[in-house]
Structure 1
Amino acid sequence: MTKRMTKRMTKRMTKRMTGRTTRSATVAVVACAVVAVWPGATANATASAESTAGATGLGVGAGGGAGVERISVATDGTQADDASAGASITPDGRHVVFASSAKNLTSDTSTGGDKVFVRDRRTGQVGRIGYLTTLQSPVISGDGEHVAYPVQWMNDVRIRQYQVSTGRTISADCSAHSCSQPSLGADGRHIALAIRFKAPLSGQRVEVQDWNTGAKQTVADLGHTLPARPSLSGDSRRLAYQDAQAEDVFVWDRAGGTTSGPIEGPAKAASLVQLSDDGGKVVYLSGSDTYVHDMSSGTAQQVPNARGVAIDPTGRHLLYAPRAAGGPSLVLRDLRTGTDETISDRPATAGTDAVSADGRDVVFQSAADDIVPGDTNGTSDVFVRHLY
């Protein structure tokens, strides 16, 4: 019996014993023309971004202390008139990117489905940078300068990358195939994505592309189209990804072009959550538990009966959803001290890149109407909990 067959049989037995199930989410997005409307990008851009007067919420450096800020509001505090979700936050906590079908967050009231917005928490300024038609999760670079999000192009899915300061928009090179699952480095120069091949080819490729030069590096070729979930470190040196068919997690190192893994060991079934921004920690799920793998020591810290959601850029704080009923929906754990901080005791969800550096801010979405005062829009909103 080959080693590969033995591994597969061991994983199948493990799944039967733990009752583990694997779910695969298929991203389907439809987009209209991309319109760059962030202020400062062009002379016409100011029509869709408001002035900083009347900004509400805590904001970065606003002296508001710990508390919750609703992000999906207009600059003057007007609440969104439709659903908002799919948010990511920069390591410094200043910029939040999110998707929303609201038409009143900027002065641009044009329709066309869901849109991608960026909020500057320091100034309160909100800008719209593109269109979607389903609530997907855009991602933002660590410096807040680049945003990547999926759009539909004919029968394919493309990834747009938008530069905030200039309004420049490019599409990732998918070579006539479909691409998805973007992840950005800290300065936005490098983007990782999964490219799904069109017939007569099959499978997908995990790739890193350079915004400046257009250069491409192949990280892995996979013989299936299950989610690969590439997760890029801040310096773009390391990339974590999963082989969902084999149920393994790997880490690729640009410096030597080498791949480590499966990091969870030869017998355990695992799915990737996120690579920390410093490239030192890899969060993965196995059974009903979450594991935080240390790249330096090769050891993993177990968080039992928890579904890991995101890790902060330094790798110290883990955002997770407890599996036990009746408790909070989102909790932030200090992995060094083992202490927990409740992020939301109302029904709430979050995605990767949801935690700022040192666990200071956590962005999440919820349809609960009692998280902040005056929430009367009857739909989901994006919030940031500022812890200290």
Structure 2
Amino acid sequence: MHFVRRSTVLGTAALVASLAVTTFPASAASSPRTSRVSTATDGHQADGASSAPAISADGRYVAFVSAADDLVPGDRNGTADVFVKDVRTGRTQRVADGPASDPALSGDGRYVVFATAAALVKDDDNGVDDVYLLDRRTHRTERISTGRPTSWMPNSMPAISADGRTVAYVTSAPDAAPGDTNERADVIVHDRRTGKNQLVQYTTAGVLADADALFPSLSADGRYVTFDTPALLDPDHADVSKTRLVYLRDLRTQTTELISRPTGYAYKNYADASSISGSGRLVAFESGLYSLVPDDTNKAADVFVYDRAARTTVRVSTAADGTQADGPSDSVSLSANGRYAAFTSAADNLVPGDTNGVADIFLKDLRTGAVERVSLTADGGQADGPSDAVSLSTTGRAAFSSAATNLVPGDTNSVADVFVRHLR
């Protein structure tokens, strides 16, 4: 494969050397423990399944989706809603009355974005899902998405900057932003202060992508947005036929950078579901490509981190000694400070004693290479059911969903719940 600007692919040690020495705050220091957050304010358990957790950077709030109708009084709509749990006080809040999904939180949890088919403002008459933002301090709801998307790709997959000013989302609406002529699903970035919408899947030369773009992720200040698309946005990497790759768009300089960089021919494969650090320097993603790092021979999807400053890629889904995972890994979340990456894996060789035969949540320290299992009981026992969809704070907390029944005492509802592991 021909590269004009070829990235150097190194091992974990290179990324370790490039990272600042940052740790979870000492105020969070305590013995690891697990708590269930998909509960009512009084602590009683949900009577429906809960999923899709998103934790605020400060670790205090967790947003999630639940089909339960007993988490707040008056929930009689018979459909899944988005809730926010205050981990400190135990209060559970429903953020919208209607079928809702895809929650994401600002850094301090003040703002929550989500997708819903409910018309939460008077001028919402398009009859499809829209992306909304709720200011939990003022209780003001605003619609972020505009236009009328086609039914095959509604407004969805929102991401929000740490300060809540910038929201990215996916839409097939042809009138959501100026210059949209590709008739594809697009990533739109909305500036709440100026009201401006802009497309992001351009080449640096300004050519619009000719394929769908999905799964946006925003840096803390909203300057950088990552997304994935099979469109060729970097002409210097032409040997990636029909392969979905992760790109980064710098909204200040209007330049586009390839993040998932195969070192060999790639055909009909993928890299997607990215997570960006607060500074925008590191980007994590999952991929089925086998040519991102040397000696990737496990024939399974893995999780990777690309360092934009060092221009290096490392595989995260390995044991502490570098042993490859013997099962697929996905669903990666980076801490805002970029030191930690949490992910889901069906592998049983990433940590000693993994004998439960189900997917677990793991945490990799990108500075030391240490790996620990997150989806554990309060006393460190193994989960008796699979876990997935992890979201990581900077304060030593990881939110995830799990069908396990033994992570906390009294879990008898026989449905998936959302949990928080207090790691430090």
TM above 0.5, one fold? yes
Shift of 1:254: 1.9
When the two structures are superposed, what TM-score results if normalisation uses the length of structure 2?
0.71
Aligned CA RMSD, in angstroms, stands at 2.7
Amino acid at match of 1:292: V
Shift of 1:130: 0.9
Structure 2 residue runs of 5 or longer lacking an equivalent are 4-26, 119-125, 176-180, 202-207, 231-241, 289-300, 317-323, 349-356, 376-381
Contact (CA 8 Å) 2:358, 2:386: kept in 1 or not?
Answer: no
Instruction: Tell me what 1:171 maps to.
Output: 143
Residue 307 (1) aligns with residue 307 (2): no
Shift of 1:280: 1.5
Residue 237 (1) aligns with residue 246 (2): no
Pairing 1:201-350 to 2, within 5 Å after superposition: 202-220=183-201, 221-225=208-212, 228-244=214-230, 245-265=242-262, 267-268=265-266, 269-272=269-272, 273-287=274-288, 288-303=301-316, 304-305=324-325, 307-308=329-330, 309-324=332-347, 326=357, 329-344=360-375, 345-346=382-383, 347-350=385-388
When the two structures are superposed, what TM-score results if normalisation uses the length of structure 1?
0.77
Residue 380 (1) aligns with residue 346 (2): no
Farther-moved stretch of structure 1 (148-157 vs 307-316): 148-157
Shift of 1:237: 1.0
Amino acid at match of 1:316: R
Which of residues 371, 387, 394 in structure 2 aligns to 1:357? Answer: 394
Contact (CA 8 Å) 2:260, 2:271: kept in 1 or not?
Answer: no
Shift of 1:286: 2.9
Change (3 A) 1:380 1:263: closer
User: For each residue in 1:63-102, what CA deviation from the matched residue of structure 2 results, as whole angstroms up to 9, or x when unmatched?
Assistant: 9742011101111111112111111001111000011121
Shift of 1:284: 2.1
Shift of 1:336: 1.2
Shift of 1:328: 5.7
Shift of 1:155: 4.8
2-structure distance, mates of 1:98, 1:335: 27
Contact (CA 8 Å) 1:184, 1:191: kept in 2 or not?
Answer: yes
2-structure distance, mates of 1:241, 1:125: 34
Report the number of matched residues: 328
1-structure distance, mates of 2:79, 2:30: 34
Secondary structure at the aligned position of 1:80 is classed as coil
Secondary structure at the aligned position of 2:95 is classed as strand
Secondary structure at the aligned position of 2:129 is classed as strand
Instruction: Tell me what 1:190 maps to.
Output: 166
User: For each residue in 1:307-329, what CA deviation from the matched residue of structure 2 results, as whole angstroms up to 9, or x when unmatched?
Assistant: 24212111211112234353661
User: For each residue in 1:130-152, what CA deviation from the matched residue of structure 2 results, as whole angstroms up to 9, or x when unmatched?
Assistant: 14447x33111112111111112
Structure 1 residue runs of 5 or longer lacking an equivalent are 8-60
1-structure distance, mates of 2:346, 2:29: 35
Change (3 A) 1:257 1:88: same
Amino acid at match of 1:332: L
Contact (CA 8 Å) 1:62, 1:122: kept in 2 or not?
Answer: no
Shift of 1:164: 0.6
Farther-moved stretch of structure 1 (232-241 vs 257-266): 257-266
Which of residues 110, 134, 138 in structure 2 aligns to 1:162? Answer: 134
Shift of 1:262: 4.8
2-structure distance, mates of 1:110, 1:312: 36
Which has the bigger relative contact order, CA under 8 A and spacing at least 6?
2
